[in-house]
Amino acid sequence: MAFARADARRRRSVVKAARPTPRPKTPRRNSRGRSALAGPRSTESTPQARNGRVAASRAVHERIGQQLREARAGTDALFALVGDDWLYERPIPERHRLVFYLGHLEAFDWNLLCRDGLGLKPFDPELDRLFAFGIDPSEGAGPKDSAADWPALAIVRRYGERARAALDDALARGAFSGRLSEPAPDDAGAVDLAIEHRLMHAETLAYLLHQLPGHAKAPGPLPAPPPPAPPRRSVEVAAGRARLGRERSDDSFAWDNEYAAHDVHVPAFAIDSRNVTNGEYLRFVEAGGYADSSLWSPEAWRSRQVAATVHPWYWVKRDGGWRYKAMFGEVPLGDSWPVYVSHAEAKAYARWRGLALPTEAQYHRAAFGAPGAPRSYPWGEATPTSRHGVFGFSGFDPEAVGSHPEGDTPEGVSDLVGNGWEWTASPFEPFPGFTPLAAYPGYSADFFDGAHFVLKGGSPRTAIRLLRRSFRNWFQPLYPYTYATFRCVEARG
Ligand SMILES: [Fe+2]
C-alpha cells in the first residue's frame, strides 16, 4: 500500500547497508597534494599553447557535461514515473528502498568527483555515507530497515540539488583535467565512470519499478501481441580463437573488468539462431521442468522449493491462462518474446534439452567472429540504431525474437545484442592482467566470488554506449528480475 512519506520531520537515517558495494577510493594526489582530477596549473610555455589547451579542455568539459545532463534526464524520468508515496517501497527484497537510489545517484557523483576528486568540503557528510552504498546480498540476507529509517524526500532532494550544482559548477569552470573522457583505469576517466554508473542504474531502476503494480506508475504503453517467432536454427561455429577483453590502447572509457584483451581457443560448437521464447519455455514448464530435481543445482533446487517457484518471475497465471507482467500492466503472454529468467532457470531448461548455456568465449566467437577480423557488433561496424535491435531505452518490454534482422550476424544469429541480456555459463572472473580502477577499486573485484555469472549483450533498457563488445554484466544465478534471456549451445566433436 501507499505510504505518506513527505514528512519533512523524518529523522535522519540509521540504515546500514547489508553488503556495501565498493567505496570509491580517494583519488591519488600528486606531489603537490592536488587531486589527479584537478585541472592543470598555468605553467604552459606559451600563451598560444595555454589557449589551445584551455579550449580543448573546455570542449571536453562541455561534451561530457552534456552527456551527464542526458543521463540525469533519463534517471529523472524514471523517478517521475512513480508518485512520492511509493518512493519508500522496496520492490525487490534484495535491494534498497527506492528513495536510496534517489540519493545514491547524486551522492556517488559528488563523493567521487567533487569530494574526493576535487577536495571540495562536504556539505552533508552523513548523507554522503548513507547514499554511498548499494547492496547485493545473498539469498535470504536482504536488508531489514524500515521506511521510517530514511530521510524525508525534501531532505534527499535538497541534497541532490546541492550535489548537482557543485558538479555542474566544477564542469562549467573546467575544474577537471583535460583527460576527462580518456580511458580507465585511471582517475582521468572518472566523469565517464559516473555517467556509466548512472546509465547502469537507469536500467536496474527499471527492474525495480517494474515490480511495482501498474497503478503505482504513470500510464505507459503496453506491448501489443507479437508476431510469431521465426524458426529456430542451429548455427555451426567452427573451432578457432575468440578475442575477449579490451586493448589498453583503445581510446575511450571502459571498466576495469574489460581489460585486458586476450584470445581463447574455442572448440567447434552449434548455437541457437535466436533466444528461447516464452512459448518454448512454456513447454518446459508444462513438461514438469520445475519438478525435476535432476535439472537443477542443489542450491537452485532448494531455493525453488522454498520460494515455490513454478514459472518465470515475469509470468502470472490468471483464470487458467498465462499473462506477462509488462512494465505498465499485465498483458497476455507473448509466445515469441524472449523468456526472461534467472541463470538457474536458463540452465535447467538447457539441461532439459540436453544442451548448455554458451560460455563467454562462445558468445564472443558467435557474436564478433574471429580475432583476425573481429566485428564491433554482431552486424558489423555500423553504429547501433533501432534498426539493429531492441536497446537504448527503446521501451520497457521485449519485442518478438528475430524482429531486427539488420542486427543479425553474417551467419544469421539474431539479437545477440539487445532484447534481453544473454546469460552465459561463465562465472564472473578477472581477465589476465586485471588491474582495479584507481577511482573505484572494488567495482569489479568485490564480485569475483564465484557467485555471479557473466551476461553479455543488452536489454531494451541498456544504454547504447554499454553495447560495446568488451562490456560485461554480472548477476547472481538465482536473481530473477534482470531483463535476461538465453540461448543454447551444443558442443561438436
Ligand atoms: Fe551504484
Specify whether the CB–CB gap between 357 and 347 falls below 8 A: yes
Query: Per-residue pLDDT tens for 313-351?
Result: 999 999 999 999 999 999 999 999 999 999 999 999 999
Task: For residues 239 and 212, state if they share a domain.
Answer: no
Query: Could you say which DSSP state residue 223 is in?
Result: P
**Residue at which a domain ends, from 216, 245, 271:** 216
Task: For residues 452 and 374, state if they share a domain.
Answer: yes
For the cut 60, the answer to whether the pLDDT of residue 181 exceeds it is no
User: Which comes out higher in pLDDT, residue 62 or 205?
Assistant: 205
Q: Looking at residue 53, what is its pLDDT?
A: 59
Q: What is the CA radius of gyration of the chain?
A: 23
Helix spans in 91-152 (H): 98-109, 125-130
Query: Per-residue pLDDT tens for 428-444?
Result: 999 999 999 888 888 99
Q: Looking at residue 82, what is its pLDDT?
A: 96
**C-alpha 309 – ligand 1 centre gap (Å):** 29
> Rounded distance, CA 432 to CA 443, Å?
17
Task: For residues 210-229, give the mean pLDDT.
Answer: 96
Q: Looking at residue 50, what is its pLDDT?
A: 62
Specify whether the CB–CB gap between 349 and 293 falls below 8 A: no
Reported pTM = 0.88
**C-alpha 109 – ligand 1 centre gap (Å):** 10
**C-alpha 486 – ligand 1 centre gap (Å):** 26
Collapsed DSSP state (helix, strand, coil) of residue 39: coil
**C-alpha 101 – ligand 1 centre gap (Å):** 8
Looking at the structure of the chain, the number of domains it has is 2
Within a domain: 425: yes
Task: For residues 57 and 179, state if they share a domain.
Answer: yes
**C-alpha 173 – ligand 1 centre gap (Å):** 27
| Residue 294 structural domain | 234-491
Collapsed DSSP state (helix, strand, coil) of residue 329: strand
Task: For residues 197 and 261, state if they share a domain.
Answer: no
Within a domain: 226: no
For the cut 60, the answer to whether the pLDDT of residue 141 exceeds it is yes
Q: Looking at residue 172, what is its pLDDT?
A: 87
Q: Looking at residue 135, what is its pLDDT?
A: 76
CATH of the domain at 143: 1.20.120.450
Specify whether the CB–CB gap between 488 and 355 falls below 8 A: yes
Task: For residues 403-421, give the mean pLDDT.
Answer: 98
**C-alpha 64 – ligand 1 centre gap (Å):** 19
For the cut 80, the answer to whether the pLDDT of residue 463 exceeds it is yes
47-80 and 153-172 are packed helices; what angle lies between their axes, rounded to 10 degrees? 160
> Rounded distance, CA 376 to CA 382, Å?
8
Q: Which CB contacts under 8 angstroms, 24+ apart, belong to 24-29?
A: 24/108, 24/111, 24/112, 24/116, 24/132, 24/439, 24/440, 25/116, 25/438, 25/439, 25/440, 25/441, 26/116, 27/116, 27/117, 27/187, 27/190, 27/438, 27/439, 28/187, 28/438
Q: What is the separation of C-alpha 289 from the centre of its chain, rounded to a whole number of angstroms?
A: 29
> Rounded distance, CA 242 to CA 264, Å?
5
Task: For residues 160 and 68, state if they share a domain.
Answer: yes
* Cis? peptide before 170, omega within 30° of 0: no
Task: For residues 262-286, give the mean pLDDT.
Answer: 98
Q: Which residues pair with 232 in a beta bridge?
A: none
Chain mean pLDDT for the chain: 87
Task: For residues 288 and 194, state if they share a domain.
Answer: no
**C-alpha 108 – ligand 1 centre gap (Å):** 7
Q: Looking at residue 409, what is its pLDDT?
A: 98
Query: Per-residue pLDDT tens for 22-58?
Result: 333 333 332 222 333 433 334 445 767 666 656 667 7
**C-alpha 205 – ligand 1 centre gap (Å):** 10
Cell numbers representing residue 132 in the block:
554511498
Q: Work out the number of other CB atoms within 10 angstroms of the CB of residue 158.
A: 15
CATH of the domain at 321: 3.90.1580.10
For the cut 90, the answer to whether the pLDDT of residue 269 exceeds it is yes
Q: What is the separation of C-alpha 424 from the centre of its chain, rounded to a whole number of angstroms?
A: 15
For the cut 50, the answer to whether the pLDDT of residue 254 exceeds it is yes
For the cut 80, the answer to whether the pLDDT of residue 451 exceeds it is yes
